[in-house]
Amino acid sequence: MKSDRYRIEPGTAVDLSGRDPQDHAMAPEGKDAARKTTKHLNRRLAELQELMYAQGRHKVLMVLQAMDTGGKDGAIRKVFRGVNPQGVKVHGFKKPTPLELAHDYLWRVNAHTPASGEIAVFNRSHYEDVLVVRVHDLVPTEVWSRRYDHINAFERRLADEGTTILKFYLHISKEEQKERLQARIDNPEKNWKFARGDLGERALWADYTEAFEAVLSRTSTDHAPWYLVPADSKWYRDLVILDALVGTLERLQMRYPDPEEGLHDIIIE
């Protein structure tokens, strides 16, 4: 798969300053050609998802993480365009509820992992507990620092029980974030997306960068790899994610269940 160029190999020390969020290496022929490829991949994903749903054997977990305005919502809309929603479950993890806080931090996530035949998409995820929690000092360092191992073990268990895991970090520049935040202010139809608190989070850009670098460096594994997706260009972001997702599903070598015997002899009157 062409998107393998963005896959973080286990044990890699990730420095985001050395990763270009405007990279277009998978699209040498430009945006228009890339969008044609994206449409083809959309159609292929729909076919593979239907096959996966019919077979009811495999399950896929797709994790999306990014800085604010990184494009998680847009990626979900564009990547799964035309896909049967019966087989795709999307869950967004926001500020924990009192009930969720009364349990361990992985409790709320476990209930939303995919069943057989499903693709589950996490818009934010269990990684918030080594990102927001770390940046805002919500728990002591000795607590959040243990969670990388917990998360690796959690994903190892899911993989051992048959879940295919792909994780995407949507890498945008600080300048691109500025433009996207300003667009939310300038466009009345996007005002609802903006909150003053977004500016406080933006002021913590360096802290979030450090936290994301730790996540990518410590939790990209063979069974649950991270893809570091250049995401300043939305069309390129979608191309990379689709290439990785379609390629992964094709490697599962799925097939439709065997039909009942004698179907060809049936004539509907």
Neighbouring CB atoms inside 10 A of 91's CB total 15
pLDDT for 261 beyond 90: no
pLDDT band at 130 (very low <50, low <70, confident <90, very high): very high
**Alpha carbons 235 and 244: distance in angstroms, whole number:** 15
CATH no., domain 2-254: 3.40.50.300
Beta strands in 77-208 (DSSP E): 88-92, 119-123, 163-171
The mean pLDDT value for 166-178 works out to 98
Give me the chain's average pLDDT, please: 95
Taking a C-beta distance cutoff of 8 angstroms, is the pair 216, 15 a contact?
no
**Alpha carbons 129 and 151: distance in angstroms, whole number:** 10
| Bridge partners, residue 234, by sequence | none
Domain boundary assignment for the chain: 2-254
Q: What are the tens digits of pLDDT across the range 77-110?
A: 999 999 988 899 999 999 999 999 999 999 999 9
Quote the pTM value.
0.95
Place of tokens 């360092």: 141
**Alpha carbons 169 and 165: distance in angstroms, whole number:** 13
| Bridge partners, residue 61, by sequence | 120, 165
**Alpha carbons 54 and 77: distance in angstroms, whole number:** 23
Neighbouring CB atoms inside 10 A of 153's CB total 11
pLDDT band at 217 (very low <50, low <70, confident <90, very high): very high
pLDDT for 126 beyond 80: yes
Q: What are the tens digits of pLDDT across the range 226-238?
A: 999 999 999 999 9
Task: Return the pLDDT at 265.
Answer: 74
Query: Which among 252, 236, 233, 231 is positioned nearest to 19, based on CA atoms?
Result: 231
For the chain, how far is it from start to end, CA to CA, in angstroms?
48
**Alpha carbons 13 and 213: distance in angstroms, whole number:** 8
The mean pLDDT value for 23-29 works out to 95
Taking a C-beta distance cutoff of 8 angstroms, is the pair 125, 63 a contact?
yes
The mean pLDDT value for 177-183 works out to 95
Task: Give the H/E segment covering residue 229.
Answer: strand 226-230
